[in-house]
Structure 1
Amino acid sequence: MNGEVWTTLVHAGVVARLSGERYDAGERPSVIVPGPDGAVWFTRSGDNRIGRIGLSASSFEVPGSPYGICAGPDDALWFTLMDTDQVGRITVDGAVTTYPIGTSGAFPAMIAATADDLWFTLNQGNAIGRMTTAGDVTTYSLPTEAAGPVGISAGADAVWFAEILADQAGRITQGGKIEEFALPTGSKPHAVVATANGGCWITLWGAGAVCRLDAAGNVIEQVALGEGSEPHGLAVDVDGSVWVALEKGSVAHIQPGE
């Protein structure tokens, strides 16, 4: 955001930017995104709050344990509540509304926005959910049983997601058609970011690497990040380079090959 790279330090309870500043962020700051108000917003899964860092730091209580968060199509932030089977909406002024996803024990994880809807993974429900800004939900079951979907990202013509238990990447169209693509065995894909050319980047948590898929689902590049790196968070910069948050306590910056 504004040329800055931000990351959460989950175990330290800190949000940091690479220019050097560190901010106390409560218990287990998890997913962080730029908001429509010019601030950065993040979930605090350890103390049931949504945090914001802008001109000043603040946080807002929510009725459950939040994890995924994204800027929605309506100038608000949308987030998942893992333990209550809900998706929440918070305005930049801190007003919170929640909507049931209609599935018990589904464990909604990451969430992404298109121009009209919100899309989210149901990690234990083995499905992809779609919600309108009015709270209406459609659920799409995955072809592979017990796939464990986690990361999700909206592209130009489809939504990409990661199946951590099936070692697969998935893609779902606006019409609900799902395709799955094999990744290396034991790679445990976690986070995903769609790219402008119709493909995506995806972290391979179990393999200590990231890889790039083209629009047809082919792996066209894989970058090793070292033993014990455990890549989690992922972002693609405006110049096409890739930033990866590593469990070992560092951030990797990748200039993709041609």
Structure 2
Amino acid sequence: MQVIDVPGAPYGVTAGPDGALWFTLVAQGVIGRLAEGLVRSYPLEQSDGQPTVIVAGSDDALWFTEFQGGRLGRITVDGAVTSMPMEGPYGACAGSDGALWFTELRAGRVARLGKDGDLTRVEVDGMPSMITPGPDGALWLTVNQGNAIARVDTDLALRVYPLPTASAAPVGITAGPDNALWFTEIGAGAIGRIDLGGTVTEFALPAPDARPHAIVAGPDDALWFTEWASCRLGRITTDGTITHLDLPGAEPHGLTVDPAGDLWVAMESGALVRVSP
């Protein structure tokens, strides 16, 4: 395990097209870059936006959401920043169609931003949160207060799958190695799995108040997730076997896999932590 101290509160983290790690400093209004052990910071024009999720786009740039500031931002690998107004954006991902897809949690919408700049939206009631491309070419997302998982085709056709556990409050979601989607249930203290037909399976965590947040597919054919309240990194196999690793610091949020296959955790207490599976 390696700990890299950073000057702020990291929230989201992703591997960039330049081989570096890019992350958001939510409290400081800053985008950070880590490469070869060196941290560089890019302050935003408005520091009150609370940049949260950051992802690599299909245009060799990084895209990030400013939930509090109501902006969707873009930063090139040399640090040039632009942004556009949105209504409480949160989750984001590059779709199979080359577009940038993101959720507007506050407005209750999923949006598609094409390479030509065309913006289209579909309404999703219940605070759509994180979003990810699925193995079927569609976009899959968590509906936090709607207690559901939703699927949006690239033509914006929507289907919603209610979760069996009340107040599960799903947040993170990712495509797994088993042709299914895996997600965190921050309210229920569980990890969920939904297949492409909509069948949901839930796996309770040993600590129901662990508050699982982000989730990614690891290089080891397992799913890895952060536990915000218990300050642990969790691992679940596709058959439901769960193990844990204690993390230094506090409040782990974002999670990504770098090109070398290592996991990186954004600790809001002020560090990026590298874990080798």
TM-score of the two chains, using structure 1 as the length reference: 0.92
CA contact (8 A) 2:19 2:259 kept: no
Query: Structure 1 residues 198 and 255, CA, compared in 2 at 3 Å: closer, same or farther?
Result: closer
CA contact (8 A) 1:199 1:216 kept: no
The reply to whether residue 174 of structure 1 matches residue 204 of structure 2 is: no
Aligned residues between the structures:
250
- Deviation at residue 127 of structure 1 after TM alignment: 0.3
Matches within 5 A, 1:17-36: 17-18=33-34, 19-25=38-44, 26=46, 27-36=49-58
1:175-212 deviation per Cα after TM superposition (whole angstroms, max 9, x unaligned): 11111011122211000002355430010111101011
The reply to whether residue 150 of structure 1 matches residue 166 of structure 2 is: no
* Alignment RMSD (CA, Å): 1.5
CA contact (8 A) 2:64 2:73 kept: yes
3-state SS of 1:32 partner: strand
Which amino acid counterpart does residue 223 of structure 1 have in structure 2?
Answer: L
The reply to whether residue 97 of structure 1 matches residue 120 of structure 2 is: yes
The reply to whether residue 45 of structure 1 matches residue 45 of structure 2 is: no
Instruction: Tell me how far apart the structure 2 counterparts of residues 57 and 83 of structure 1 sit (CA, whole Å).
Output: 23
The reply to whether residue 86 of structure 1 matches residue 113 of structure 2 is: no
Identity %: 44
Instruction: Tell me how far apart the structure 2 counterparts of residues 44 and 24 of structure 1 sit (CA, whole Å).
Output: 13
CA contact (8 A) 1:234 1:242 kept: yes
Q: For 2:29, which of 13, 34, 56 is the aligned residue?
A: 13
- Deviation at residue 20 of structure 1 after TM alignment: 2.3
CA contact (8 A) 1:76 1:90 kept: yes
Which amino acid counterpart does residue 12 of structure 1 have in structure 2?
Answer: Q
Q: Which has the higher contact order (CA 8 A, sep 6+)?
A: 2
Instruction: Tell me how far apart the structure 1 counterparts of residues 274 and 180 of structure 2 sit (CA, whole Å).
Output: 26
- Deviation at residue 250 of structure 1 after TM alignment: 0.9
Instruction: Tell me how far apart the structure 2 counterparts of residues 97 and 79 of structure 1 sit (CA, whole Å).
Output: 11
The reply to whether residue 113 of structure 1 matches residue 133 of structure 2 is: yes
- Deviation at residue 91 of structure 1 after TM alignment: 2.6
CA contact (8 A) 2:134 2:175 kept: yes
Unaligned runs of 5+ in 2: 1-15
Q: Partner residue of 2:229?
A: 206
- Deviation at residue 118 of structure 1 after TM alignment: 0.5
Instruction: Tell me how far apart the structure 2 counterparts of residues 90 and 134 of structure 1 sit (CA, whole Å).
Output: 12
Instruction: Tell me how far apart the structure 1 counterparts of residues 263 and 218 of structure 2 sit (CA, whole Å).
Output: 11
Instruction: Tell me how far apart the structure 2 counterparts of residues 38 and 183 of structure 1 sit (CA, whole Å).
Output: 37
Matches within 5 A, 1:239-258: 239-256=260-277
CA contact (8 A) 2:218 2:263 kept: no
CA contact (8 A) 2:185 2:212 kept: yes
Unaligned runs of 5+ in 1: none
Query: Structure 1 residues 12 and 93, CA, compared in 2 at 3 Å: closer, same or farther?
Result: farther
CA contact (8 A) 1:39 1:52 kept: yes
TM-score of the two chains, using structure 2 as the length reference: 0.86
